[in-house]
């Protein structure tokens, strides 16, 4: 735990527990939210091969997860951590320009 606290610049054990809880809840929440979206788009295993459906669903879950992570983090008092996490993660994917300020 001490290595994580140092790496993530966190002071309390409660913050680490809250961060783990947020990751767990948000994963389930993103999958739950993606279900009606796939239904709205007319995607299902009845209309297409499972070999195409499940990769499409996973691709849909990814942006939902990224959008909801700071929100769920905020509910647990960890918005600052998850906002920094999102900026760093999306920057590594080449989407860092979304967070650059125009000077």
pLDDT at 5 over 90: no
**Under 8 Å CB-to-CB from 14, ≥6 apart: which residues?**
none
Q: What are 28's two structure tokens?
A: 């389930």
**The pLDDT of residue 101:** 61
Distance CA 103, CA 85 (A): 23
Per the confidence metrics, is the pTM higher than 0.95? no
pLDDT at 69 over 50: yes
- Per-domain residue ranges of the chain: 2-99
Per residue in 9-32, pLDDT (tens digit) is 888 889 999 999 999 999 999 999
């Amino acid at each position: 735990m001490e290595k994580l606290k140092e790496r993530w610049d966190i002071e309390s054990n409660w913050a680490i527990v809250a961060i783990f809880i947020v990751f767990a809840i948000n994963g389930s929440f993103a999958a739950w939210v993606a279900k009606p979206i796939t239904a709205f788009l007319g995607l299902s295993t009845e209309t297409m091969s499972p070999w195409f459906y499940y990769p499409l669903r996973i691709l849909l879950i990814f942006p939902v997860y990224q959008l909801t992570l700071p929100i769920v983090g905020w509910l647990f008092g960890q918005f600052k951590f998850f906002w920094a996490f999102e900026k760093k993660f999306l920057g590594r994917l080449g989407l860092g320009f979304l967070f650059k300020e125009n000077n």
